[in-house]
A and B are shown apart, each in its own frame.
Chain A
Amino acid sequence: MSELVDSYTEVAGKTEIERLRQLSETLEGCSVVHVNSTRVGGGVAEILMKFVPLMQDLGLETSWEVVTGESEFYKCTKSMHNGLQGNPVDISESLLSAYEKTSAENAEKLRDKLEQADIVIIHDPQPAALLKLCPNRKGKWIWRCHIDASNPYPPVWNYLREYIAEYDASIFSLPDFAQPLPHNQYIVPPSIDPLSEKNMDLDKDEIVSKYSEYGIDPDRPVITQVSRFDRFKDPVGVIEAYSITKKLVPALQLILAGGGADDDPEGEEVLKEVYAAADDDPDIHVLLLPPDAHRTINALQRLSDIVIQKSTREGFGLTVSEAMWKGKAVIGGNTGGIKLQVINHHTGFLVDTPEGASLRTRHLLSHPEELLEMGVKARGYVRENFLITRQLREYLSLMRGVLAGTEGTIVAG
């Protein structure tokens, strides 16, 4: 009992683990069901893979259900996702009908379980309609929005709000993403799992093996950006920053590591632009990695001198915390959630241009003591703010608050 939770004591501290225990005692016997739309792939599945066993380990009767549908359903929910992010997408009546029909089919399968649960946590828009389809629900329902909904496309939000307004509470990652709703909107930023393959400590041999595997010179400085090949991640801007820096630091190497373009037409296009900008420079390593290359990403971040995340728009950008956890200073785009993680001049630098990224890269490479000091601060900052144990504590706290219906203090111990 609690072996899994206990394994976080070393990284998160005894106090945090004790808080989790006290909160879980207030929720003893409580049944919790998480519902999302996939068991593998994507950040939501990744977090649930850890959250569900951790909640079980804390004594909560926790399960995880997945809604399924045909291609029309996913077309609709993908459009909803884009609409919440602010893209002006018009969703046809037929797609909305598919959404409603598929939601009804899923409700038939899940109704008994969901209506009996003490807490139901619905993740993102895909399963959002289930609440209206479970009229005899006995517990509290919470909608968790993982999307940057700071400026949603009004027709999409108006449609979804009809469903979401009936929930007992909702959760957003940042205050900026919250929308006027008739219930409490809790603010819970995302987090990283320090014990996952992506973030766990690695043997030096495993890290060193990546030099030869990818043709990287271990004796020369390396800067790395890990992200999808997406225009908002500005990989071409990173190459520009590298090129400016390279004139003064000729030994510099750049790694751009990300997932393959798959069926994303824009991703393919951006990748072409990246190759064109790299112009066959042998010191630019464009690595297309499979989605499960967590240990490789982990090793690449660890072997880097500096990690870059030069996004021009970013919901949260957890790759920043991943790098910071590995003791790396991060040069990040001055946008979205990156601003919460990169504390200028302390855990890294915030930049607005490739020139700015180059300036900070040169500065840090020529001040190794400062680079080291920033890395230490960065790891400590993630420990305080962006570990999964903090996110779990906030979930348990709000579950307690929603169940008790208290407006003020939540007493756990």
Chain B
Amino acid sequence: MNTANAEPFLVKDCTLLRIATGIHVQNLSEMRDKLLTIHPESIYFHYWGRKLRHVFVEPEYHNDFASWAFQSLHDITLAERLSVIDPSDSTEPEDLRAGLIEVVEKRIYECETIPSSSHDEQFHFVHAKIVVFDTGYAVTRPEELPGLIPEIPDGSVFYHFIDAARRTKSKSNDFSVWLSSFGNDYKELSERVSTIEPYFLNMRAIRERLTSILNEYLRGPTNERTG
């Protein structure tokens, strides 16, 4: 097993510090206009920032634009179309913007009147800075990961799984990148972890999928590498 060159995996934690843009919209036409120019960080926040929000029931729609269409415009058709736009399919942030605009413009074309919300149900564009902390947790071998994952806060899962896609060359997650640093020994495990698509999952589900893949590979009866 090649462990000599691998650095320890240092577990980070993070929180999001929200920043208002002062830009808000009340109807779908205004939404289209603002989507054309809004900073890509704001689109990112309205897709991913909700993962760290405390929810009692899993939201029916998977991003803030879709939730607004459902809750404030009462337009289920639009909510469904917006919700299904998976950011993991977009290689560049601008592709995601283009996808949103396309759906919104199509809906404007279809509707006899422009869908509109009440004044206090406006959509407020926000973006966020990520604040990164040390957790004090570190592992040196992949076999330690299954025991670690249940212990770390949601902020750690967000940082290493969601934020990592913006930081890593392979646009992957930190676990996969670290596992690949062991060479061929954990290449397959690294690839399996990369198959987790976080967009349709909450933090608990991401954690469960990750733990399940790690356990299956590292503790499974057919795996002889970990002996």
Contacts and interface: CB of A to CB of B under 8 A. Distances in A.
Interface stretch (B11-19, B77-85, B183-191, B193-201): B11-19
B134 A186 contact: no
Nearest to A395: B17
Contacts of A400: 131
A179 interface: yes
**Size band of the interface chain B makes with A:** 20 to 34
B56 A377 contact: yes
26 contacts: A15-B135, A19-B15, A19-B133, A22-B133, A23-B133, A175-B124, A175-B126, A176-B120, A176-B122, A178-B20, A178-B22, A179-B22, A181-B22, A185-B20, A336-B120, A343-B56, A346-B56, A346-B57, A385-B54, A393-B15, A397-B131, A400-B131, A409-B131, A409-B132, A410-B130, A412-B133
Interface in A380-407: 381, 384-385, 393-394, 397-398, 400-401, 406-407
A401 B54 contact: no
Given A175-B124, A408-B130, A410-B132, A15 B19 contact: no
A21 to B, nearest CB: 9
Given A15-B153, A410-B129, A401 B17 contact: yes
Contacts of B20: 172, 175, 178, 185-187
A398 B15 CA distance: 12
A176 B24 CA distance: 8
* The 10 nearest A-B residue pairs measured at CB: A413-B134, A178-B20, A175-B124, A187-B18, A180-B22, A346-B56, A185-B20, A413-B133, A410-B131, A175-B20
Interface of B: 12-13, 15, 17-24, 54, 56-57, 120, 122, 124, 126, 129-136, 153
Contacts of B54: 381, 384-385
A408 B130 CA distance: 7
A398 to B, nearest CB: 6
Contacts of A22: 133-134
Chain A interface helix/strand/loop/mixed: mixed
Interface in A161-185: 172, 175-176, 178-181, 184-185
B130 A413 contact: no
A412 B131 contact: yes
Contacts of B15: 19, 393, 397
B129 A401 contact: yes
B115 to A, nearest CB: 20
Interface string A345-363: 0100000000000000000
A335 interface: yes
Contacts of B129: 397, 401, 406-410
